[in-house]
Amino acid sequence: MQIIPLSQIKPNPNNPRKINPESLHGLIESIGQIGVLEPIQVARDGGKSYRIVFGERRYHAALAAGLKEIPAIVANKELTPEEEFEMLLVENLQREDLTPIEEATAFRTALDLFGCTQAALATRLGISQPQISNTLRLLKLPEDVQQDVSDGKLSACNARALVAHDEETIRKLEPKLQGATVIAAKKIIEAAAPKPQPDNRTIDILEDLNFRWRQGDINKVITLYAQGCSIREIAKEAGRANATDGKIEVITLLLHLHRQGIVKVNFGLFSKVAR
């Protein structure tokens, strides 16, 4: 641990957490009285400069309290942007410091930065792939609705239930869902925006799928699709030996899951069914 002048430290521009100055009042008062008890962690940023890896709230509170220096742990090696962002993300997830929208934005940044699939990112972070995919769905909402989620006016669960609807329906339903329980929100959505019923042929196929597909198969299809596997590969891995029937089953299942908002299907993929 070192004692580093605050003038040599700068915030991390990639921090997924947005610092609200109003939330620092208690911490500023505490630091002003007893100092910073837990060191921040920093990485070298060239010369005598340092970049915060985590501990940014303590940094800002120390500045506001009038401190000139702060205890810090300096990373013992030069971190790559990927390593640094991974440390930032894991730290915030473990502390549960992120709002749902900040978490979704962080997942999107990580996927772009690492160039990996959701499944690979989930393994890397020690969380489930559905947690990542469900959280990312929040970014499909209009920005003002996302802000209501960040502000705590609308729960993340109720917000996800809006994703499958058009913007006009979202704006009509969102005020009614603020503060509603999950069960109440479901009833509000079903009453105001009932889902279209599939035709009889689709119903027959889905009834057959419900009988033939085990839950494990469905989860495998979701995972393989998220990894970018082709329809043929998904059918084979899911144990469907008959290539044509297997691909039809996979497509029907994906469309069904798409309507339920469980996966977001890229319909362009179906032009490559023969793969």
Indicate which residues carry an active-site annotation.
56
Coil, strand or helix at 233: helix
DSSP structure string for 193-212: SPPPPPPHHHHHHHHHHHHH
Report the alpha-carbon distance of residue 19 to residue 15 in Å, rounded: 10
Q: What residues contact 13, with CB distance under 8 A and at least 6 apart?
A: none
DSSP-assigned letter for residue 75 = P
Count of beta carbons in the 10 Å neighbourhood of residue 158: 23
Strand 40-44 and strand 69-74: pairing?
A: parallel
DSSP-assigned letter for residue 42 = E
Among candidates 210, 213, 169, 211, which has minimal Cα distance to 191? 169
Can you read off the two tokens belonging to residue 29? 């008062």
Return the CA Rg of the chain: 24
- Side chain identity at residue 154, one-letter code: L
Counting Cα atoms < 13 Å in the Cβ hemisphere of 144 gives 5
Among candidates 229, 266, 227, which has minimal Cα distance to 247? 229
